[in-house]
Amino acid sequence: MPRSKQYKYEAVLEKAMDLFWAKGYNGTSIQELVSHVKLSKTSMYEAFTDKHGLFMATLHNYRKRLNNNMSLLREIPSARAAIELSFESIIAEVTDHRHRRGGYLTNTAIELAPHDKEVEEWVNESIKDIEKVYTELLQKGIKSKEFSADMNIESKVNFIMGVRHGILVYSKIRQDKTRLQSIVTEALKVL
């Protein structure tokens, strides 16, 4: 794909994702998408087939970004600091936005995964990617003696994921940074 066309494609995905993130898949009409991303219906259908195709493209684009961000955590020398930073990054993202958007992955899992097989597969694969990074961080923390050697890694990863998704859902109710940070503080005590 030529560079300018690739840039426009990425920009369309970002704008569409913002709209889906704010309104949900079912709350977003084709007309709103066309208007928001500044594409004609014909161009949208040629590029993405339909609304669901565009949505799936935004999910794949989001997953790439999420995986890049999660990979950066591996470079932090302290496993505990990396896990804390992952939570702090979530809090910064959800409190920086004027809409109570929550998390794109979490919102998608709640809204569509129960009745859309393709979305369910995407959600499960995305969660596995995140869990893999947290597993590696906990293993690193055990090796560096930041965490107890008898830690049940699978249980702790499940706990971390529960806290992560809890923060994202709770932020849709309250965008109070202090409250969200108190959740992180308590969660880190358990590690």
Q: Compute the distance between CA of residue 56 and CA of residue 23 in angstroms, rounded to an integer.
A: 16
Q: Which of 3-12, 87-96, 117-126, 156-165 has the least mean pLDDT?
A: 3-12
No. of helices (H) and no. of strands (E), the chain: 9, 0
**Tokens standing for residue 119:** 């979305």
> CB–CB of 122/57 below 8 Å?
no
Closest Cα to residue 191, out of 167, 166, 157?
157
The confidence score (pLDDT) of residue 8 equals 87
What are the residue ranges spanned by the domains of the chain? 55-190
Q: What is the mean pLDDT of residues 84-91?
A: 96
pLDDT over 60 at 4, yes or no: no
The confidence score (pLDDT) of residue 146 equals 97
Q: What is the mean pLDDT of residues 44-63?
A: 96
| Residue 128 CA to its chain's centroid (Å) | 12
Q: What is the mean pLDDT of residues 97-107?
A: 86
> CB–CB of 16/36 below 8 Å?
yes
% of the chain exceeding 70 in pLDDT: 95
Q: Where are the alpha helices (DSSP H) in 24-152?
A: 30-37, 41-48, 51-73, 79-95, 104-111, 117-143
pLDDT over 90 at 100, yes or no: no
Cβ neighbours, 10 Å, residue 53: 13
Question: Average pLDDT of the chain?
Answer: 93
Give the torsion through C-alpha atoms of 7, 10, 16, 18, to 10 deg.
-110
CATH superfamily of 55-190: Tetracycline Repressor, domain 2 (1.10.357.10)
* Number of residues that make up the chain: 191
Radius of gyration of the chain (CA): 18
Q: Compute the distance between CA of residue 175 and CA of residue 173 in angstroms, rounded to an integer.
A: 7
Q: What is the mean pLDDT of residues 169-179?
A: 91
